Amino acid sequence: MSIWPLPAGLLLLAWLWLGPLAGMARRAFSPHMMLHLGVVVVAAPLIVIGLLRLVPAARPPRRLMLAALAASAFEFAVVWGWHAPALHEAAARLDPVFVLQQASFLLSGLALWFVCLVGRERGQLAVGVLAMLFTSMHMAMLGLLLVVAPALLYAPQFCLGAFGLEPLVDQQLGGGLMAFLGALPCVAGGAWLASRLAAAEA
C-alpha cells in the first residue's frame, strides 16, 4: 500500500510553516485560520494515514475510549485556548509562543486523527466516529461565534485584514473557514468510519 500521504503531509507542513502564510498569520486572522486548518485537518491526517500504512501492524491504545477522550479534550483545549485573545495575540507577537502554538496544533491533530483512524474493530470504529463528531461540532461552533461577532476580538495590530478585506470582514472570513473547512474533514472522517462500522456489523 502506498505511503504517499506521509511525504505529502510533511511537504505541506514545510510549505505552511516556511512559506509566506506563517508571516501573514501573525498580522491577519484569515491567514492564521488557513495555517491552523492546514496543520490540523490536512497535514495531520495525511501524516497519520501515511504512518499507519507504513506500519500496518500498529495497534490502538489498550484503553482506546480513554485515549480518545484525552485526545479530543486536548484538541478542544488547544483550539479554543489559542483563539482566546490573550493567547492569540501573544503568539502573533512573540516567536517562541508562535512556535509553541503551531507545535500544539500539530500534536493535537496527530493525536486526534491517530486514535480515530487506528481502530479496526466495531467498538474502536464507534469511538472514532464519536471523536470526529465532537471535533466537527466544536470547530463549527467556534467558527460561527467568530462569524457573528459584531466587533474585532483581537487587537487591531494583529488583525489588520488580508486579501484587501477590512479587519472585521477578515475575522469573519476566518470564522467561516473554521466553521466549514474545519468541520468538513472531521465530518468526512466520521462518515468514512461510520461506513466501516456499518460494513462490520452487516
Q: So what's the pLDDT on residue 76?
A: 97
d(Cα 182, Cα 12) in Å, to the nearest integer?
Answer: 17
| 113, three cell numbers | 486523527
User: Domain extents for the chain?
Assistant: 5-201
pLDDT over threshold 70, residue 1: no
The DSSP secondary structure of 132-153, one letter per residue, reads HHHHHHHHHHHHHHHHH-SS-S
d(Cα 199, Cα 194) in Å, to the nearest integer?
Answer: 9
d(Cα 112, Cα 117) in Å, to the nearest integer?
Answer: 9
Q: So what's the pLDDT on residue 109?
A: 97
d(Cα 159, Cα 146) in Å, to the nearest integer?
Answer: 13
pLDDT over threshold 70, residue 192: yes
Please state, in angstroms and as integers, the Cα–Cα distance from residue 177 to each residue in 31, 35, 69, following that order: 10, 11, 25
Stretch 169-179: mean pLDDT, rounded?
94
CB 139 within 8 A of CB 79: yes
Stretch 170-183: mean pLDDT, rounded?
94
CA 174 to chain centre: 14
pTM beyond cutoff 0.75 = yes
**For the chain, what is the mean pLDDT?**
93
Q: How many CB atoms neighbour CB 170 within 10 A? A: 23
Helices (H), 38-121: 44-54, 64-82, 85-93, 95-117
Sign of the Cα pseudo-torsion (83, 17, 147, 186, in order): negative
Q: Side-chain half-sphere of 156: how many Cα atoms within 13 Å?
A: 2
